[in-house]
């Protein structure tokens, strides 16, 4: 059979197209080979490297097979690896959070006072003790004030002057005349006048002077209202908060008072008992 010219032309075009594709494939392969040769050296070196890689792959495969099944509850190694990677990400996040917290703590500690928490707690306890002590004193003074008001309401008008005179004598002696006068307001001592003329309200007196005033007031009241009776006076640690000099002077006043009226003094301080003298009765628990 004789083929037509068109048929032959189409076949030739197909052959030429296929030939062009194969030439391009050959060119690409040659370029790839050139790249391999450039990277790995000769063809023999490439074959040798390939053999080494196959050997390494075989060893790794044997090691993987020797590992056996993945740990429970993982069914596959991929599941185990995935969970491990997720936990590693979580661990890194927690470490970052921990580092940030440490930095914040360092900043806070740098701004914190030098006093430790333990020292602050100890100071708080001491302040609470001081507060309770002051509160007890305040309640005692309030009771004294109430008692004075009640008693004064029942006595004649000359009583406040008598109380003022006695109180001034006692407070002047205990303070070595540093305070020598008092002002009375509504039958009660309100202000205290120093030797230099300065007048101070009770609230501005020092703690030691307040204690001295408290003792002087009790002695004044007792001296005035026990006069002509067989009564006695009971005091609880009247010297404990006075300084040594005022303790001695207050003890002298108490001894003078005891010449006229019996005094019972309660104290847990042997030193105060020694200063006061008199008959000592010890109680033990």
- Return the CATH number at 260: 3.40.50.300
21 and 131 both lie in a single domain:
no
Residue 76 falls within a domain, yes or no? no
Mean pLDDT value across residues 223-233: 83
155 and 268 both lie in a single domain:
yes
Give the SS3 label for residue 149: helix
Sign of CA dihedral 237, 242, 248, 250: negative
Query: Where does a domain end: 43, 60, 77?
Result: 60
Query: Where does a domain end: 42, 60, 78?
Result: 60
The tally of domains found in the chain comes to 2
Q: What percent of the chain has pLDDT over 90?
A: 15
148 and 48 both lie in a single domain:
no
Cβ 96 vs Cβ 88: under 8 Å = no
131 and 56 both lie in a single domain:
no
Domain that holds residue 209: 123-276
Residue 43 falls within a domain, yes or no? yes
Q: In DSSP terms, which residues pair with 179 in a beta bridge?
A: 194
Structure confidence at residue 103 as a pLDDT band (50, 70, 90):
very high
Structure confidence at residue 156 as a pLDDT band (50, 70, 90):
low
Mean pLDDT value across residues 57-65: 85
Gap between the terminal Cα atoms of the chain = 144
pLDDT for position 154? 61
Q: Which of 11-25, 181-195, 204-218, 239-253 has the lowest mean pLDDT?
A: 181-195
pLDDT for position 97? 93
Residue 110 falls within a domain, yes or no? no
24 and 165 both lie in a single domain:
no
pLDDT for position 56? 92
Residues 6+ apart with CB under 8 A from 223: 166, 257, 260, 261
pLDDT (tens digit per residue) in 45-57: 878 888 888 999 9
pLDDT for position 191? 85
What is the rounded average pLDDT for all residues in the chain?
84
**CA–CA gap between residue 240 and residue 268 (Å, rounded):** 9
pLDDT for position 237? 84
**CA–CA gap between residue 164 and residue 167 (Å, rounded):** 5
Higher pLDDT, 204 or 43: 204
55 and 134 both lie in a single domain:
no
51 and 185 both lie in a single domain:
no
Residue 209 falls within a domain, yes or no? yes
267 and 127 both lie in a single domain:
yes
127 and 48 both lie in a single domain:
no
Length of the chain: 285
Residue 245 falls within a domain, yes or no? yes
Structure confidence at residue 187 as a pLDDT band (50, 70, 90):
low
pLDDT over 90 at 93, yes or no: yes
Cβ 183 vs Cβ 228: under 8 Å = no
Residue 223 falls within a domain, yes or no? yes
254 and 146 both lie in a single domain:
yes
pLDDT for position 203? 85
**CA–CA gap between residue 115 and residue 105 (Å, rounded):** 17
Structure confidence at residue 190 as a pLDDT band (50, 70, 90):
confident
pLDDT (tens digit per residue) in 247-273: 898 899 889 888 888 888 888 888 888
Residue 149 falls within a domain, yes or no? yes
Task: Judge residue 216's burial from the number of C-beta atoms within 10 Å of its C-beta, 0-12 exposed, 13-18 middle, 19 or more buried.
Answer: buried
Check whether the bond before 73 is cis (ω within 30° of 0). yes
Cβ 224 vs Cβ 216: under 8 Å = no
26 and 157 both lie in a single domain:
no
33 and 132 both lie in a single domain:
no
Residue 116 falls within a domain, yes or no? no
């Amino acid at each position: 059979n004789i083929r037509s010219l068109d048929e032959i032309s189409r076949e030739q075009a197909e052959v030429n197209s296929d030939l062009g594709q194969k030439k391009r494939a050959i060119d690409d392969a040659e370029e790839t080979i050139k790249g391999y040769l450039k990277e790995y050296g000769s063809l023999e070196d490439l074959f040798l490297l390939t053999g080494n890689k196959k050997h390494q792959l075989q060893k790794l495969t044997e090691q993987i097979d020797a590992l056996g099944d993945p740990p429970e509850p993982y069914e596959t190694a991929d599941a185990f690896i995935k969970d491990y990677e997720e936990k590693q990400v979580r661990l890194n996040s927690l470490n970052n959070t921990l580092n940030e917290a440490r930095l914040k703590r360092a900043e806070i500690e740098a701004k914190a006072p030098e006093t430790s928490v333990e020292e602050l707690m100890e100071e708080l306890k001491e302040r609470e003790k001081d507060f309770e002590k002051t509160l007890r004193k305040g309640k005692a003074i309030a009771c004294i004030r109430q008692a004075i008001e009640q008693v004064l309401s029942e006595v004649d008008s000359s009583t406040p002057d008598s109380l003022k005179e006695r109180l001034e004598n006692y407070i002047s002696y205990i303070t070595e005349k540093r305070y020598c006068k008092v002002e009375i307001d509504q039958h009660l001592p309100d202000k205290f006048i120093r030797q230099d003329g300065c007048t101070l309200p009770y609230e501005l007196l020092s703690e030691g002077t307040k204690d001295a005033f408290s003792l002087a007031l009790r002695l004044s009241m007792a001296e005035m209202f026990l006069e002509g009776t067989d009564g006695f006076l009971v005091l609880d640690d009247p010297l404990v908060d006075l300084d040594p000099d005022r303790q001695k002077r207050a003890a002298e006043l108490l001894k003078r008072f005891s010449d006229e009226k019996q005094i019972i003094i309660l104290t847990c301080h042997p030193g105060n008992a020694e200063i006061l003298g008199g008959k000592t009765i010890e109680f033990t628990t």
